[in-house]
């Protein structure tokens, strides 16, 4: 069966397992039934780029046995160390980790595109959790406004440059924590101007957050709309009680029925769209 939709998943801060996305892929695949054969998934796993240095830092911190609350502190070093390293200009092996993480995203998009079929530029859905939403939005920004040919992470095709992005779902997003200090704050352009009209009419940026999630925020009112970008904020109660009433709801989106319902609905909406060109790029 022809693949109609590429779904790209990117994790947030911390040290997730390499198969972190499998729970989401399995749940969505079951919900879609036969339609799942029309969808191709790809998960970007960028954590190892930063984790090795964080492990070194943690071992050195433990040398003198001066710390309490070790489990929580270990999480702080691994999780909160990610945005600091990503945006600080930190270099690894002579290259900025910002660019290395974006190259990881570009490579994952390239792999997804290859499995969708050579010569076919399909609609793209991005599911971005937590710091992953910051990385994805920065990546999209760079495709439009940082087009230096030597820039690491610059897409080689329309699909890699996210020009076919039709569904952007951010969840547990902490983008507001990384915005410039004063307005106007320019939002990324979405949908791309070259997206065909039949896809542009269905393009949605949906931002899902739990009010109890202290790392997840609404987005619609913090960016200007000069690019024509519209963001739909959607509040849910992520997870099961009592976790759903705590900041730990930040970790519960991938298993939450309300979130999975939204993802399924978006996928089915995109799969229903016509026409579907078989050989020519969008």
- 169: helix, coil or strand? strand
The per-residue DSSP string of 179-203 comes to S-SSS--PPPP-S-TTS-HHHHTT-
235 bridge partner residues: 209
CA–CA gap between residue 143 and residue 152 (Å, rounded): 11
Please tell me the number of Cα atoms within 13 Å of 280 on its side-chain side.
Answer: 5
Closest CA to 15 of 67, 81, 107, 59: 81
What angle do helix axes 70-79 and 48-61 make, rounded to 10 degrees?
Answer: 140
Q: What is the pLDDT of residues 127-140, one digit of tens each?
A: 999 999 999 999 99
- The DSSP output letter for 223 is S
In tens, the pLDDT along 156-208 reads 899 999 999 999 999 999 999 988 777 777 888 899 999 999 999 999 999 99
Taking only the tens of pLDDT, the chain with its 282 residues reads: 578 999 999 999 888 999 999 999 999 999 999 999 999 999 999 999 987 777 777 677 777 777 676 776 777 766 777 888 888 767 666 678 899 999 999 999 999 999 998 555 789 999 999 999 999 999 999 998 876 655 667 898 999 999 999 999 999 999 999 887 777 778 888 999 999 999 999 999 999 999 999 999 999 988 866 667 899 999 999 988 887 888 889 989 999 999 999 999 999 999 998 665 554 445
**What is the residue whose two structure tokens read 């994952």?**
108
pTM: 0.90
Pair of tokens at residue 132: 């992953």
């Amino acid at each position: 069966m022809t693949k109609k939709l590429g779904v790209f998943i990117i994790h947030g801060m911390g040290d997730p397992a390499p198969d972190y996305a499998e729970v989401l892929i399995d749940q969505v695949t079951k919900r879609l039934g036969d339609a799942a054969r029309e969808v191709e998934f790809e998960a970007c796993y960028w954590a190892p780029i930063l984790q090795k240095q964080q492990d070194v830092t943690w071992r050195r911190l433990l040398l003198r046995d001066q710390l309490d609350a070790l489990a929580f502190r270990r999480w702080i070093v691994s999780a909160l160390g990610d945005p600091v390293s990503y945006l600080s200009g930190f270099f690894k092996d002579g290259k900025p980790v910002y660019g290395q993480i974006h190259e990881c995203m570009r490579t994952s998009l390239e792999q997804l595109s290859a499995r969708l079929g050579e010569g076919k530029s399909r609609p793209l859905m991005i599911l971005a959790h937590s710091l992953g939403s910051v990385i994805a939005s920065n990546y999209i920004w760079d495709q439009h406004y940082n087009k230096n040919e030597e820039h690491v992470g610059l897409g080689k095709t329309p699909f890699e440059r996210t020009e076919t992005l039709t569904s952007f779902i951010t969840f547990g997003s902490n983008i507001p924590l990384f915005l410039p200090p004063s307005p106007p704050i320019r939002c990324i352009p979405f949908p791309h101007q070259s997206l065909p009209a039949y896809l542009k009419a269905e393009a949605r940026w949906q931002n899902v957050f739990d009010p109890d999630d202290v790392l997840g925020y609404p987005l619609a009112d913090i960016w200007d709309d000069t690019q024509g970008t519209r963001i739909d904020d959607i509040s849910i109660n992520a997870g099961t009680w009592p976790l759903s009433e705590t900041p730990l709801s930040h970790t519960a989106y991938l298993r939450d029925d309300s979130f999975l319902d939204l993802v399924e609905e978006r996928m089915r909406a995109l799969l229903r769209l016509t026409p579907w060109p078989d050989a020519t790029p969008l």
